Structure formats: structure tokens, C-alpha cells
Amino acid sequence: MAVSKSYDEMTDITKFSTAVMRVGSSSMLRKFTKQLTQIHISLQVVIGVNNGELFSYLVFRRRGHDWSWISNANTIFLVDGNRTQGTGVVINSHTSSNDTTVYCNETVSQDTDIDYLWTISKAGSVKFRVGAVDVVPPAEFFPALKEILDVTNGLGK
């Protein structure tokens, strides 16, 4: 899994991002079911550099039959039994359709400290809650998180 890098000349911000990772079982039947229903939750890590300062956040995306995070984007991170609460921000919400089915698409961003991302990368147990939805990171989340931390280690002031 590779870390992508993008630069915005107008804002002078460089962003490093993991791939978007779907949450849920990795069994073939589960993947096929997700493709049929198009209901899913995904997760992504972003680390940026702005004027020499690092910033980071987790991005949670949800596609479902109803709105869940529009009215409650608060987060709880449970990392090795330690709870951290935050106030996520809905950064995108829209509807889409497939034939006769309408989907609610929501994206929540939660700022995190780089040091906290390092803690998550070394944890034995990690679970996130966004609104009322529990999110267990997929297995590929941890190698991707470690990779983005290694790529951005030493950047910034």
C-alpha cells in the first residue's frame, strides 16, 4: 500500500494520504455483498505540512440508507482501553442513487496529533466511534498508518 502525496500551490500545503480502506470483513462473500448493496464505511489517514507545521486527521466515510453523522459527528477513540473524545466535522454530505435506491453519503474529519497516531500505530486494540457508529479498523489500516508516519517522520519544524 503506497502513500500518496499532493501539493496545492495556492495554499502551499503538502498532503500525504493513505489509500481509502473499507471497514468490515475481508471475506469474498462480504466483499461481494458490499458491492451489491453499496453500503459501506471507509477510513483514511492524512498528514499535511503547512508553513513547516504538521497537521493530521482521520477521515471516515459512510454510505448508507439514512443520515447518521449529519446530526452527530462526535468521536470516541478507544486505544488499548484508553478513551479519547473529540468533535468530528462533517466535511461532505450528499445523496446519490443507483437505479431506484437513494444513498446518503457522509464524510467526517477528526483532527489528531501526530504523537497520538504513533500511539495508535503501536496499539494492540483500536476501535473508533463516529456518532453512534462503531468502526473497527481493517487489518491493512495499521501497516498503512505506520507507512505514512515513516514517510512524514522528520517533516515540519
Domain boundaries, the chain: 4-152
Between the two ends of the chain, the Cα-to-Cα distance in Å is 27
Rg of the chain in Å (alpha carbons): 16
Q: CA-to-CA distance for 35 and 140, rounded, in angstroms?
A: 19
What share of the chain in percent tops pLDDT 90? 67
Angle, to 10 degrees, between the axis of helix 114-122 and the axis of helix 141-152? 140
With cut-offs at 50, 70 and 90, classify the pLDDT of residue 52.
Answer: confident
- What single-letter amino acid sits at 51? N
Name the pTM for this structure. 0.87
- Statement: residue 148 has pLDDT above 90: yes
- Statement: residue 34 has pLDDT above 70: no
